[in-house]
Structure 1
């Protein structure tokens, strides 16, 4: 019986056996270089074109290094591996792969869930070290010319892999809880006190109980050192952010600030200008990102500095050994790969060192010892001023572009999603059927019209086919985000407006927990009550707030804001109109395109959005608003006018029932109510949007905020931390007191005191 031909020829097998290990070695080095250079862009960009390649490189890096170690281990038992020198060289490559498995300093995890997998990395460390030692043991002999360089390279390999495992452990929620939670406080010895009390009472001795309030032992050690000086400069902001960051990490595990922490941060932020507060929060979030997703927590310590210096020296010694080694018997190509690995190890450590020196962590630590050195202080000040988002003078374009790519702390932009624009563009093209006429010239025109009609029908068919395909694979969400998501730079005046609104509310909170809870739970009605209670249309507008869930409120106010914004006769509202427009688009973007963040407050937001889009598309197609695919403000304005022309004398629920969750015409009613406020309309709308943003910021899970740091950051996270700094929280701890109880005998002044 004839044997069937092998699917892979012997020549391909030979090529694979010869080049597989070398290819994966170079792939591993390339991925490490890519990650150390481009992984920091995760905190500076929200673009999918940046995040997805980093995600793929992160996953491929471990796989390539593990696979290469397996190939080296299997090659040691291969009798056809070539000369002994070749086997020694393969053993010399194994510690490099341990170095690569340790990963670059700029990324240890893609998401917070990866930190919880530190036991898996610990097992991986053990097994990969055993495999590398097995490879080394197979080549251990006096004839091995690479014996000492290989031993030296095991040092940085173990250090880097160990650093990664420890960094993952320290960033896990279990470790954070153990580190951040205070020492247990059992309080006074109640049993001892009651024994004393009972014995004296049983002896019929006259006793008197005296209770005094006092501060706890922990609170006595609190020092309000933030903002002690009159001048708050960039270095002071970094120092303050570093101090506050260590407190803010407790928010990740759902702790709240105690009385003294809240008082300290609130007193500090009340003194700051809006721009300085923004810089402080950006720096604090940058510390948080690096603590959760990089090795910085492990490296920035005396032990970390010592181990990093030791590993760098070991790599340099191995490099010198190999450079001075007689390379007779080695393949020239393999020698080139080895030099690439050595150069790569030195270069990657040098890049990591430069990033370490330029980090905010180094500035916060070094400045304590260099305050009297004017040269160092001036350099730090200029560098930190260069990193600020907003500066009084406009820098050259090349410097600004460099800052955005390498030094900015977050993406510095606000995303947006527009409901009316989305509905109009999803309506698609309206194709007009050609009118057939007969005549010498009319036949030619009719043919041209028919061909155009046929072309448009084909395009529409292909579009429908494309949508069905991406829906089948579940990619429509990704397509909508890439197509309809807009982005604009965060305006300094908009941040100042948000800052001032929250600052004014913080003065009302003070030490009253009840007011704090009311402000945090408010979704726009607080502003209406405090500022517009005497307005004649107050009660009519307040009716739009009754029994309206958060997701319904965002969608209604977004559509109503669009209608007011595109009314030509009333204007776009100046600065407050632009604030309202930006925040309106941003909140809808969070609701629809950040479902993981808004899951705790969104309700049935996705269902409500789809029903409203369906009703809008039906209305626009009927009114032929979306017949032109080239949309602009004129087309959006036309759509808003047609919506406002609809008679809304009867509530939509009384006509349609509650089967459909659409709020399209409820938003029309709201828009008409808002227009009655005339000159104060935009101040009201912008303040309501700040409240809606504050509600989202305070009610989203802290871990979701931390996850957003890996996607360029979001404005809602800045607002979340700003509210915490101002003390605007639902759970506010009152002053910690510890009772001081004395049992006093009237005749014998014997005092028992429990502290």
Structure 2
């Protein structure tokens, strides 16, 4: 019985040792029993981990913060799954590691040699505050601001408890500790505030309703100044003046943010007077029109990204960053003075037996915090436009004139005017090409597809200046066309009205540039061109089909026309060549949005995509390659019975009419169809889609929506009758005529 009792007691003792992490007894027993070397090695490793666990994890926490600070800025202008994955892991791990280490400090044994471990508690609060370049990884994180506020209270209390219970070191170290505690609490509070600020504008937020009235008043107060300033820049031919562009972008930040997030009420977008008369005409006549509007859109979206995802997008950080920098430098100096004084005296103190490793880690944390604060301030100037936002907010305050001048000088020195603020990429998805590659897929790809892992057949192309110009010119033509009624600018439905109106334009048979290559005679426009275009639009049922069906049909039509008119048949600099390239890229981009991003897809849309892919796959079984596929559809091969494939049969009918039209008119018509589709998607895909993709390199369709705002399209559209009429029409007229902010 005694033997059994001793055995049971030994087992209980070993279990408790494993639970508490005390492996010394286990090590001694293994040695006595002559345990195997592997067992002794594992036990020794466990013992070392128990002794140095906090030190290792504190350094891990610091390196995670360093990675987040310097890597997060790249996601604004990089489309990289690897980068997104690493940032996601670091963002989630950083908080978990810091909270875990802070909890482990409560179990600290109070060893005098490791008293500096307690000194690290405030640094964990600093790490929980996060970095300026990434307050939120996604918009969903903004909804968790209350959780971070609760963590701020609990973790701050825990840090105070750890220090108060176990501090046995030199009391002179309490000063730098308190300074870092203040910095940590302030930084964590700033993070919670920034998340709350961005979350209040997040789609689906309960506070959106509260912003609507303020957004409407802000719009009616600032909209006249915004477009008048653009008019003035164009009149004075100052489109390339970066600081004037920044002035318009920063002053119009709130307008662009509310428009992108769908906060402005529709009736606010319908002034009853032609307040921006001549603006579109001036943009159209400007040689540098693309440089102005696209740069302005890019800057405005960069400001919105910083507002939603970083700590740069708020004026609280303008004061907090310098304050934290100063306090951190004071704490570093105090810590250095204390240790230097102890080394000179050589008197036995509780800190005279500190491990050198703990001292080194303390210096790393202090110097690292100092370096990160400097880096965040520099990155505020070099990678953000918010210094200009701060300057704009101080313009009417004489007390801060010196501070404003200093900020402007630094921003001019450090800021890069020509930097690209998004990926500049246009994802491409071609349905026929994707189905061909799926058909040619190997056994491994087919096995992966069976378990739901599909290979991505999307490619990327750079958005060229020519493609941007085609989009802008088509929009300007629509805005200045006398045949375009207000109802045609209503993006509530897609009816192909722009293409139907474009057939009747006088410029339909002309082009902005020479439509014929040098050395070729200019032939008269065929008399049947207009009727052929109308017949093609009628065959496509563009006015009656739903959007997804129209997109799929015109995607096939564009591929057929591309195959029928190779690129080498066009002069390299001709207008038709630019529109041909733009139509191809817009076609593949719209299909990427529909098929890969599920934009504008309801149950009917999903069904349409499924049937279209099935028909293409079946048709591929009867042809050899892509070229033969398109030729058979274009020629309407009777042997293949196209009527069994409705989308392909209708594409044959539409393309047959389009191929009767002169090349530059054909591509102008196709480009108009895709431009209207792109604008329809930009306006209706939802604020959540735009906000989400700002943090993944950006989407061109988001820039299109901002382009519509800059050109004033939402203010030109048709307005429906309002149940609640505007009470501020007279006030709006007052702002137009006499508001002082309207003056440039």
What TM bracket, shorter-length normalisation? 0.7 to 0.9
| Aligned-residue offset at 1:184 | 10
1:162-241 to 2 correspondences below 5 Å: 162-173=189-200, 174=206, 178=210, 181-182=213-214, 223=225, 226-227=229-230, 228=232, 230=236, 231-232=238-239, 233-241=241-249
Residue 318 of structure 2, aligned match among 286, 305, 325: 305
* 2:379 equivalent in structure 1: 355
| Aligned-residue offset at 1:574 | 1.6
1:285-684 to 2 correspondences below 5 Å: 285-298=301-314, 300-301=315-316, 304-324=317-337, 325=339, 326=342, 328-358=352-382, 359-366=384-391, 368=395, 387-388=417-418, 407-428=419-440, 460-468=442-450, 472=451, 474-476=452-454, 479-480=455-456, 484-507=457-480, 513-517=486-490, 521-532=493-504, 535-537=530-532, 538-545=534-541, 546-567=543-564, 571=569, 574-595=577-598, 598=599, 600=600, 604-625=604-625, 636-647=626-637, 655=644, 663-679=647-663, 680-684=665-669
Equivalent position SS for 1:488: strand
| Aligned-residue offset at 1:182 | 2.5
Distance 1:510 1:246, change over 3 A: farther
Equivalent position SS for 1:42: helix
CA contact (8 A) 2:558 2:670 kept: yes
| Aligned-residue offset at 1:58 | 0.9
Whole-angstrom CA distance in 1 between matches of 2:273 and 2:154: 47
Distance 1:664 1:316, change over 3 A: same
Whole-angstrom CA distance in 2 between matches of 1:373 and 1:152: 29
Distance 1:622 1:260, change over 3 A: closer
CA contact (8 A) 2:253 2:300 kept: yes
Whole-angstrom CA distance in 2 between matches of 1:12 and 1:640: 67
Whole-angstrom CA distance in 2 between matches of 1:218 and 1:559: 44
| Aligned-residue offset at 1:693 | 0.6
Residue 116 of structure 1, aligned match among 140, 143, 162: 143
Structure 2 regions of 5+ residues with no counterpart? 19-38, 201-205, 284-288, 343-350, 506-528, 571-575, 731-744
Residue 708 of structure 1, aligned match among 693, 698, 717: 693
| Aligned-residue offset at 1:532 | 4.9
Distance 1:378 1:20, change over 3 A: closer
CA contact (8 A) 1:694 1:719 kept: yes
| Aligned-residue offset at 1:265 | 7.7
Equivalent position SS for 2:352: coil
Equivalent position SS for 1:182: helix
Whole-angstrom CA distance in 1 between matches of 2:189 and 2:139: 19
Whole-angstrom CA distance in 2 between matches of 1:71 and 1:142: 19
Whole-angstrom CA distance in 2 between matches of 1:648 and 1:162: 72
Whole-angstrom CA distance in 1 between matches of 2:406 and 2:329: 32
| Aligned-residue offset at 1:32 | 0.7
Whole-angstrom CA distance in 1 between matches of 2:729 and 2:561: 58
Whole-angstrom CA distance in 2 between matches of 1:589 and 1:649: 32
Note if 1:278 corresponds to 2:278: no
1 or 2 for the larger relative contact order (CA 8 Å, sep ≥6)? 1
Distance 1:365 1:466, change over 3 A: closer
Distance 1:373 1:157, change over 3 A: closer
Q: What does the per-residue CA deviation read over 1:473-519, in whole Å, with 9 as the maximum and x for residues that have no partner?
A: x432xx31xxx1111111112112211222232345999753432x6
TM-score by length of structure 1 reads 0.74
How many corresponding residue pairs?
623
Q: What does the per-residue CA deviation read over 1:115-158, in whole Å, with 9 as the maximum and x for residues that have no partner?
A: 12111111011111111111121145684442111111111101
* 1:86 equivalent in structure 2: 114
CA contact (8 A) 1:648 1:668 kept: no
| Aligned-residue offset at 1:82 | 2.2
Distance 1:180 1:589, change over 3 A: same
Whole-angstrom CA distance in 2 between matches of 1:563 and 1:43: 36
Structure 1 regions of 5+ residues with no counterpart? 186-215, 389-406, 430-459, 626-635, 657-661, 741-755
Once the two structures are overlaid, the 10-residue window that deviates more, 279-288 or 337-346, is 337-346
| Aligned-residue offset at 1:311 | 1.7
Distance 1:164 1:144, change over 3 A: same
Whole-angstrom CA distance in 2 between matches of 1:221 and 1:720: 17
What is the root-mean-square deviation of aligned Cα atoms in Å?
3.7
CA contact (8 A) 1:269 1:725 kept: no
| Aligned-residue offset at 1:648 | 6.5
Note if 1:160 corresponds to 2:187: yes
Whole-angstrom CA distance in 2 between matches of 1:335 and 1:261: 71
Distance 1:532 1:98, change over 3 A: same
